Every structure is written in structure tokens, then in C-alpha cells.
């Protein structure tokens, strides 16, 4: 591992020297950031932590488990702040990636390219698509699917034979009154998976992206841990939250707040959680041959609720439970 760190740092030093020779094209702030990264990597390796947006970040910092690096508490790159420090005496690099799959993939790839990382822990909140789960529960899925790659066809169109599943939008007619459903059919396609272990420019079809088996077995020891039940003294969940390892989840650039679509996702793919980033983080990690795990707190019912979505009320609680599970998981890592 030490050899890998030295090699990585050496490559970054070469890169820095190359860009310094053309400073007119590179902002001084980036040169400074790369210099800090080189120094920080000599103290590695680190566990990579990736979350999404401020409420999840706030919950993570409220655990008080993160201790900033004494000299370089953070480094800024491409508009994101990569924080350097420790959690439970384990060295970590933490970043808030931003909402959506593009942001998640970009931040994860940048982290793996520039820092000496041993694996990635992705965490946050998600919608709940499984009636046996409840708001406040934490899911650590064994696999995730990208359910946003669609073949959207005309009513008389033929779905490709290699689609994983299809959705007929039979209950929504547009325009109304003529008996025709012009929205047609949606077919769910595979993702293309590129990896260091495969041939260059050769993609393998993938629908389910598996999280790391060794880390899942380690996470199984978290089941039964105490989770937060109350938002405040006057608002508590009707049941005690639980942590479940080994379910499945789905990711798409869609905020799901529709009961019918939620039920379709569960009945078709048996997914328990729906979010907008996890699959991207897992895919990037697997492509680069790094272990990865996803920890998500369930903040809402993804549309099956009566009235307004509960994410504004229970989102902070779900984020807190996810962050608590992250800290406990890191403490179990060798």
C-alpha cells in the first residue's frame, strides 16, 4: 500500500509540474490544491465518504465523529470541498457531491483519481418503496439498479427484446376523450459498464450493480443498532426504526413522489429504496475496482403517503440515522 501511495503522489507531482509550465491555462488555486493533495496523500490511505446535499452533511457533522486534519482540513476542486480528517481514528476524505447522477459520478471519479482511497462509503436519504420498511429505517442495499435508462416508444411501437422490463401507461390518456394513450410504453434498458478489469472501449451490459460483499458482511453487524425515533419532543415515529442489510435499491434522475410509479418499481424490480445518486457512486467505484457500500435513511414514502411528502419533516431524522450508521460502520473497518 505504501508503494501505491508513493506512486500516486509521484504521478501527481509530475502532473503538477506539467501544468505549472503552462500556468496561463491553469488557475493558481488549482495548482495550490494539487500541491496540498500530494502532501495529504503521503499520510494516506483514506476511506472515501460521499454524501449529497446540506441536510445530510449537517447530520454527518452533528455526530461530531469527523475530526479535521490539523494542517489541511480541506482542499477545494471544481467547486467542491474535499474535507480531510478522521472518523473513529480512521483517515477519511469526505465530499458533498450535489444532487443527481452526474454530480455523484463526477465527484466520485475525481476523488478516486486524485486521492489515495481504499474504498467508498456513500450515504444519505432516500424514498421508501417497500411497505415492510418505514420512515426512519436505514437500508444498506446489496445491489442497485439505474431505473432511468428508458426506451420511450409510441403506442404501437415495439419494445426492444433486451429491455429488462416495461411500463404501459394505460391509465393516463392524452389527449383525453378519444380512447388513445399517446404516451405509449416505457422499456427499461441496461447500463453500459466499463471497468479496469475489462477490455478498453468494451462495455458490458449491467442492470444490477453489486455493492461489496465483504463490506456487506461487516455491515450485517449493524443490524439491531439503536436509531433515532423522534424529530423533537413532540414529534416521534410510531415505531422504532430498524437497520436492514441486503435489500435492493434504484437510482434515477427522478424524485419519486407518485404512488403508482412507486408500486410499479417495487412490484417489478423489488426495490426498497429510491434515490438519485447511489447507482452512480457504485458504478464509478466498481469501474475503478474499489470496494463500495451504500447507507441510506428512509425519509419519505415516495408518494404513497396521504397529503404532502414527508421529506421536509423526517428528512433530517433519516439523515441522522444514516450518518449514525456510517460512523458505526467505519468503526468496524480494519
Whole-angstrom distance, CA of residue 66 vs CA of residue 85: 7
Q: Which of 158, 160, 180 is nearest to 169 (CA)?
A: 180
Per-residue model confidence (pLDDT) at position 160: 87
Alpha-carbon distance 115 to 107, whole Å? 12
Handedness of CA 313, 95, 251, 298 (dihedral sign): negative
Q: What gap in Å lies between CA 296 and CA 288, rounded to an integer?
A: 23
Say whether the peptide bond before residue 45 is cis (omega within 30 degrees of 0): yes
Give the distance from CA 309 to its chain's centroid: 21
Q: What angle do CA 127, 133, 139 make, to 5 degrees?
A: 65
CB count in 10 Å sphere of residue 117: 24
Q: Give the model's pLDDT for residue 213.
A: 97
Specify the 3-state DSSP secondary structure of 75: strand
Alpha-carbon span 144 to 124, nearest angstrom:
15
* Predicted local distance difference test score (pLDDT) of residue 24: 54
Contact 209, 279 (CB under 8 A): yes
Give the Cα separation of 248 and 266 in Å (integer): 10
Q: Is the pLDDT of residue 294 over 60?
A: yes
User: Among the ranges 31-35, 92-96, 169-173, which has the highest mean pLDDT value?
Assistant: 92-96
Q: Cell numbers 410509479 label which residue?
A: 261
Query: Over the stretch 12-39, which tens digit does the pLDDT of each residue have?
Result: 555 555 555 554 577 788 888 999 999 9
What's CA 311's distance to the chain center, in Å?
Answer: 18
Which secondary structure element, helix H or strand E, spans residue 66, and what is its range?
strand 66-68
Residue 128 has pLDDT above 60, yes or no: yes
Ramachandran angles phi, psi of 306, nearest 5°: -90, 125
pLDDT in tens, 115-124: 999 999 999 9
Exposure string of 52-83, with b = 16+ CB inside 10 Å and e = fewer, is bbebbbebbeeeebbeebeebebbebeebebb
Residue whose grid cell is 476523488: 111
> For position 161, what pLDDT does the model report?
87
DSSP state of 221: G
What's the average model confidence in pLDDT over 143-156? Answer: 92
- Residue 328's pLDDT is what? 98
- Structural element, H or E, at residue 148: none
Q: Rounded to an integer, what distance in angstroms lies between the CA atom of residue 76 and that of residue 82?
A: 6
How far is C-alpha 206 from the geometric centre of its chain's CA atoms?
A: 17
Instruction: Confirm if 222 and 299 have CB atoms less than 8 A apart.
Output: no
Task: In whole angstroms, give the CA distance from residue 60 to residue 40.
Answer: 22
At 171 the pLDDT is 60
**In this predicted structure, what is the pLDDT of residue 173?**
57
Minimum mean pLDDT range among 64-78, 153-167, 185-199: 153-167
Residues in Cβ contact with 262 at an 8 Å cutoff, skipping those fewer than 6 apart? 127, 129, 256, 274, 301, 302, 303, 304
Q: Which among 18, 20, 33, 17 is positioned nearest to 79, based on CA atoms? A: 33
Amino acid at each position: 500500500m505504501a508503494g501505491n501511495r508513493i506512486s500516486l503522489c509521484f504521478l501527481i507531482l509530475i502532473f503538477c509540474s506539467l501544468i505549472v509550465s503552462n500556468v496561463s491555462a491553469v488557475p493558481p488555486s488549482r495548482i495550490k490544491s494539487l500541491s496540498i493533495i500530494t502532501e495529504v496523500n503521503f499520510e494516506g490511505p483514506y476511506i472515501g465518504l460521499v454524501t449529497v446535499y446540506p441536510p445530510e452533511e449537517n447530520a454527518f457533522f452533528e455526530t461530531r465523529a469527523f475530526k479535521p486534519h490539523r494542517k489541511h482540513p480541506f482542499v477545494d476542486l471544481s467547486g467542491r470541498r474535499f474535507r480531510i480528517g478522521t472518523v473513529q481514528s480512521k483517515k477519511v476524505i469526505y465530499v458533498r457531491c450535489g444532487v443527481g447522477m452526474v454530480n455523484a459520478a463526477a465527484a466520485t471519479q475525481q476523488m478516486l483519481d486524485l486521492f489515495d482511497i481504499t474504498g467508498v462509503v456513500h450515504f444519505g436519504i432516500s424514498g421508501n418503496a417497500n411497505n415492510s420498511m418505514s420512515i426512519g429505517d436505514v437500508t444498506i442495499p446489496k445491489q442497485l439498479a439505474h431505473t432511468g435508462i428508458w426506451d420511450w416508444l409510441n403506442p404501437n411501437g415495439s419494445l426492444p427484446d433486451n429491455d429488462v422490463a416495461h411500463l404501459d401507461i394505460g391509465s393516463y390518456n392524452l389527449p383525453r376523450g378519444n380512447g388513445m394513450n399517446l404516451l405509449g410504453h416505457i422499456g427499461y434498458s441496461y447500463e453500459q459498464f466499463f471497468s479496469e478489469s475489462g477490455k478498453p472501449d468494451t462495455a458490458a451490459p449491467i442492470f444490477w450493480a453489486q455493492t461489496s460483499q465483504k463490506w456487506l458482511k461487516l455491515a450485517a453487524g449493524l443490524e439491531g443498532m439503536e436509531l433515532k425515533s423522534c424529530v423533537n419532543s413532540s414529534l416521534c415515529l410510531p415505531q422504532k426504526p430498524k437497520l436492514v442489510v441486503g435489500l435492493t435499491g434504484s437510482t434515477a434522475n427522478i424524485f419519486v413522489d407518485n404512488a403508482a410509479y412507486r408500486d410499479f418499481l417495487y412490484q417489478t424490480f423489488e426495490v426498497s429504496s429510491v434515490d438519485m445518486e447511489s447507482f452512480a457512486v457504485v458504478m464509478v467505484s466498481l469501474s475503478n475496482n474499489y470496494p463500495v457500500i451504500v447507507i441510506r435513511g428512509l425519509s419519505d414514502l415516495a408518494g404513497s403517503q396521504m397529503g404532502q411528502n414527508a421529506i421536509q419533516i423526517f428528512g433530517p431524522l433519516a439523515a441522522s440515522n444514516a450518518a449514525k450508521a456510517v460512523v458505526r460502520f467505519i468503526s468496524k473497518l480494519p
